[in-house]
Structure 1
């Protein structure tokens, strides 16, 4: 399997073989994940439907780092799907917030479904969040979406009465440092588990394959430019996707290329000062006709001001009024596809860009942190007891 026409032996020599393979395999992985969720449909329905029928149900989507951004991508779409049900709430709260502030994140007496996203299932915060939810809420239900059969999270929740583990195919369990297949795999698995409206999986996979086939020259040209800052902008659930895209650049370049994420409206309120002549801006255009007006307002403004290079990612070719430019990336999805469908496909472009930036800097993408400052599974976290004994 090749990526962007790059030589496989060269990628292996430069420490990028796993990252490249795991980016390139995503169209096939999504089909495998879809097949798995479809095969588990009866068990998922038996677990989820009684919970979704509960009045005042609170759904908390949680994870750490990239896994937290999965929840941020899903929350707006899931809330819209369940919005007609009285009292139902959907919130994305990182495990890192739950662990350090359980009293401010968890509500006793409120029926809660904690949806945990975890590549390995061994993150200290992922495990502690589950235990804190049980200790604080009593009757908390758990849906774990994870990629590692031998992970602690899957083993702990596998036989609990109020829990369901959705274990994804082994190929989603990235061997590289950065989450790529695992992120999009868990995102789509949860979307299909909750039956959120998406185009057929073949349409998503074909869109990602078309992007990988069409964009090597553009990606190579972008990576050859003297870029020192990346800004990724997206509205609603695409803001969670923007955060993940920015994090991929930070991780794979070992922090040497600064990246940040925001919403198009929020970017004007201070963060816009980051722009300079060596800034690349990726603007993820919403398919929602109302939201898209605000996205396009900022796109036109940024291009008029001319600070940095701006690339729009869109499901439709921008007309002259919207601000068409040669740099814009066309995503081969229906123009009425929900924004959640854009997220995994657009992320493939950002993942490729981050890997190429890493290689340009002489960094090994499979293990980019030469100093060991960050690790594949976070280390150094001390989980303190909720009620420490009196001195």
Structure 2
């Protein structure tokens, strides 16, 4: 047997034995419901926090974009892929979020990797929160810089690392998420920003789960914390209801990335119709404060309805982790809820630390109060079963 085959068989067997085997489920979604193999489900695992993915105004905008600009961009941004909808969206994002420039990417994963691979050199130091997204951790470990991880949201540990590195020859970059996707908690951005300024370091914030949800007009975690980072990464697959990402920065940094970020240079640009629709998503996010207000109301309702003895974590975001601990138990609880018409995914290691398997409950503005009450009642019954 070829060694690749042996390696694959062994790895799959170990994943099964550990109770960590991942499987896809093919779903069908309409404006009102998600359908699985066994019927209709109320989806509490979506990152569509503002309910824009099924918003008729946004769907119409994408259809209009297709009629005006066709289906695909046809090339990378530096060939013929950069078109008027891309230019307009970049300008709109920069104006809204308060930066000189924005650059578009096809995904948050590629944006994060483009940034770290292009920006960092061998004598630089990269400091990351231990719970940062896999895209940031992988890029940091593969970059030429030295990477250090500080305990989650521990600003004292970050200060020690910065103080010890004050004499390094290269530059220092601190990067954190604004909202942590598995815990729903916020980074202490004001404190981190103060530290980076005091130690002449740059601060980058990945606000994939905060932009659209927090801050004035949905400007995100940094606006909520009252800071302005050197670099901001936002993604469009969450509150924007679509897909893609952008890096926001100053003029020179943007031009540097255009010249040296391989993910930008060699990837086909996002479809112009999608960029056109994203412009409408930006408008809806800024305009519709009621969506954020509804998320706050539903969050309070869920906390009130779930039995206090159940380990539902209080958070200031739509992400509500219910810590189970054991991976097999988390999968079993998720399956029991699915049988009751509730879709809540079980999240297991290595996505989360060992012994912290959980149900990752997410609320959206598309949920009703009745949906949330039903969710809480089913959780109470299943957990105590």
TM-score using structure 1 length: 0.35
TM-score using structure 2 length: 0.35
Higher RCO (C-alpha 8 Å, min separation 6): 2
Q: Which has the larger radius of gyration?
A: 2
